[in-house]
Structure 1
Amino acid sequence: MIPALALFLLGLLALSIPVGIVLFLLGFGISHFYSPFPLMRALGQVVWSASDSPTLVAIPLFVLLGEILVRGGIAALTYGALDKWLSWLPGGLIHANIGTATLFSATSGSSVATAATVASVALPQAERLGYDPKVFSGAIAAGGTLGIMIPPSINLIVYGFLSQTSIPSLFLAGLLPGLIMAIGFMLIAALLCIIWPNLGGPPARTCTWPERFSSLKHLLPVFVLFMSIVGSIYAGWATPTEAAAVGVAIAMLIAAFYGGVSLEMMRNSLVGTVRITSMIMLVIMGASFLNFTLTSAGLGATLTQALTGLHLGQYETLLVIILMYIVLGFFIETLSLMVATIPIVVPVVVQLGFNKVWFGILLILLIEMALITPPVGLNLYVVQAARRAGGMSDVMLGTLPFVFVMLIMVSVLVLFPAVATYLPTHF
C-alpha cells in the first residue's frame, strides 16, 4: 500500500497538479481501494472541521501583513538601511540579504513572502554590482526560510493547531534558534568570501556613522511591528490571531506614513492575500481528508507501529524521523508534508519522551531545509523567478553552504534542547 501511494503521489506531482488537489485525490484513492467503508461520505464534515478553527484566521492576516510591507515600499527602505550597517563585512550586500530576511521574518510569518520580498529588492543591485549569482541568490533563498522559524510564523501556527501545542510557547521557542541560524548564515557567507574574495562583489564601501544612524529610522517600523505583534501576545493583551490583526493595522499606518498606500496597492495586497491563503487552506483541507482516510484504512497505525517497532533507542528513532523528513522534503511541498505527517509522527515523539514544543522547532528546521533543496524547494523557484539571467542551478548550488548550517543546527537542537525550550520555560 505504501509504495503504491508514494508512486501515485510522485506521479501526480510530476504532472504539475496542485498539491492540494493531489492530497484529495490520494484520499479518494485510499477510500476506493483500501477501505471497506464509504469514507467519501465524510468528506464534507472533514473539510469543514479542518477549516473552521478560529486559530486559522491568523493565516490570512499574517499574509496580508507581509503583502502590505512589500507593496508599501517598506522593504526597500529596510534593505537600504541594513546595507549601510552590514556591507563592510566580507560579502557586502550578502549580509544585507540575510539581515533583511531576518527582520521581515519577524513580521511576515511566511518563508516564501520573505524570500520574494528580499529578492525583489536585492537582485537588481547584485546584477549591477557584479556579485557572484550563486552565493548571493542562495543567501536570499536561505534567509527567506527564517520566515517560518522567527515568530510570528504561519507554519508554527499550523503545527500548534494540528498537535494541540501552545502557539505562544512555539513562538518563544523559535526566536533563539532563528537568530542563531541567521548568525550562522552570515558566518558561512563571510567565510566563503574570505576564502574566495571574488564571491563578495566589489570592495566594501564605507559608510559614515552619521549615515548609519540616520538610516535607523527606516528600521524602526519593523521593530515597532515586531514588538506590537509579539509583545501583545506575551503581555496577555491579544491572542495570536488578534495580534495579527493589530499588526495589519499598524502596517497600514506605517505604509501611509511613507506614502505607500493607494487603491492599486490595496487591491494588489488583497488579491495576493486571497491567492496565498486559498492555496494554504486547500492544502490543509486536502491533507486533513488524506489523514482521515489514512487513519480509517489503518495506515496511520501501521506507520506508528513501524516507527515504534524498530526496537531502537530514543535517539535512534528520532534519527530515523529526521532522515524521513529530509528525504520527504526533497519531493513534497512543505506545508503538505507538515499537515500529512504531524498527526502520525507527534504521538510517536511524545511517546518517546520528547517535548512537543522542542520537536515543533526541530520539525520547522527540517521544513526550512526542504524549502531550499531541489526538486520541490519553493524558495528556489521564488528567487529564480526574480532573477533576470542564469539558470536554476545557480540558486541550487548557492544554497548548499546554508543547508550545511541547517544540518549543524539540527545537531545543536538535538544535543542542546534548551536552545528551543529555555525561553518558553522561563518566560
Structure 2
Amino acid sequence: MLDELLAAWIGRQRWFGGKGRPIDELSIDSDVELSPGLRHLIIAVWQEGSRDRYQVLVGERDELPDRLNHALIGTVGETYHYDAVHDPERMGLLLDGMAHDETRGGLRMRHVPGVTVDTSPRSVVLGAEQSNTSLVYGDAYICKLFRRLIPGVNPELEIITALAARNAPHIARPYGWIETDLDGTGTTLAIMQEFLSPANDGWDLALTSVRDLYASLPQVPAGEAGGNFAAESRRLGTATARVHHELAEAFPTDVIEVHEVKRMAESFRRRLGLSVAEVPQLREHVGFIEHVYHQVELLTTAVPVQRVHGDYHLGQVMRTPTDWVVLDFEGEPGQPLSERRALYSPLRDVAGMLRSFDYAARHLLTGHSRAAELEPRAQEWADRNRAAFIDGYIEGGGVINQADAALLRAFELSKAVYEVVYEARNRPSWLPIPLAAFRPRAS
C-alpha cells in the first residue's frame, strides 16, 4: 500500500521535520489526480502524539527511467511511485496551471494579476534546501513548494504580493501561487517568483571576503585586503531600511508601550535563565547580558512596531548586478503563523543581520589550525562590516537613536543566547561563535 511506502520513505527526506523520532501512524488526508500519472497528496504523520501534514507530488510510471531512481518511493504491483518534483515532464503542469488559473480537485493554481507566465521552461530541483523544495524553470522562475503545511496564507506570499503592487525595489517579483483549503482555511502550497539567475548568495559572498582576508598578510587591514566587503554591507544596510519602509507603508503599524517593552525584557531574561541551565558556558556572561537587558527596562518611550522579515541573515539576501534583493519573507518556519505575521521592531531584523556578520567572520575558524591567530582578524572583519551595515541602514532612512541602540543590543544578545543553545545541541564545535557575542564591543 502507498501509505506504507510513504511511511518508510518520508523519514529519509531532508525536508521531513520529524527525523530521529519513530512514526506512529501515517495517513493520506487528500489525494488529487492532477493528470494521468501525477497525484497530489497531503499526508498526516503522527509522532509522539502530535500531527504534522506534508504535501507530496507522487508520480506513477510502469517503467522508471534511471534519472528518477533517486526519487523512488516504492512499487505497488507493477507501478513505480516516485517523488514527482524531480520529473520535469510532470512538473510542467504546475507552471501551466498557474499561467491559466486552473483549479483541479481543490487545488487552486493562480498567477499574479497583470503578469504573463511563460509555460515553456523545463524544471530542475534546487538541492540545497532543508525544509522546502524549490523548482527552477529555465532562468525565469523559481517555485517554492512548502513541504510541511500549516493552515493559512504564507506570510511570504502576503508580503511579496503587497510589495510588488507598490513596485517596491529589493524583492524578487512574484508570478503565481498554489493553494488549497486545509481545516477550512485557505492554505499556501507553493509560491512562484522571479529567478535571480545572475545573482550571488550573500553568505557565499561574505565567506569569500573572509577567506581573502585570512589569506592576506597579517599587517594588511581588513579595509585594504582583497576581500573588502564593507561597501556591500553598507549597500545591504540601505536596502534593508528601504524594505522596512515599504513594509511599513504596505501593512498596519503600531507601537508597544513602555510596560510592554519591560515585559519583552523580562522574556529575554527568562530565556537566558533557561539557557544557562542547559549550557553552563553562558554563566560567566550573565552579568554582562543582564546589564544590556536592564538598559531596555530603563526605556521611557514607546517602541514602533511593524511587519518585518523575521528571519533575516546573509543567506536570505542575493546580490544582483544592480543591488541587493531580499528573499524568504516567511519568517521562522517553526513558529506559528500568528507569530510570523505579528508586528515587531524592525531592529529585530537588524540584529539578525549583525549576528550573521559575526557568523560569517568566525565560521571558517571552526577546526582551523590557526584559529587563535586569526581571531583578531575575524573580529576586525565583523566590526567593520557591522558598522558599514548600520551606516547604510541609517543612510537608507532607518532610525537608530540612543533608545533604539539599547533595544538593538538586547535583540542581538537574545539572538546570541538562542544560538548558544542551538549550537550546544547540534554543533558543539561552533559554540565559540555565538559565545564571542558576549564580549563588550563598540558596535
Asked whether the two chains share a fold, i.e. TM above 0.5, the reply is no
Ranked by relative contact order (alpha carbons within 8 Å, sequence separation 6 or more), the top structure is 1
Q: TM-score range by the shorter chain?
A: under 0.3
Structure holding more strand per residue: 2
What is the TM-score normalised by the length of structure 2? Answer: 0.26
Structure holding more helix per residue: 1
Larger radius of gyration: 2
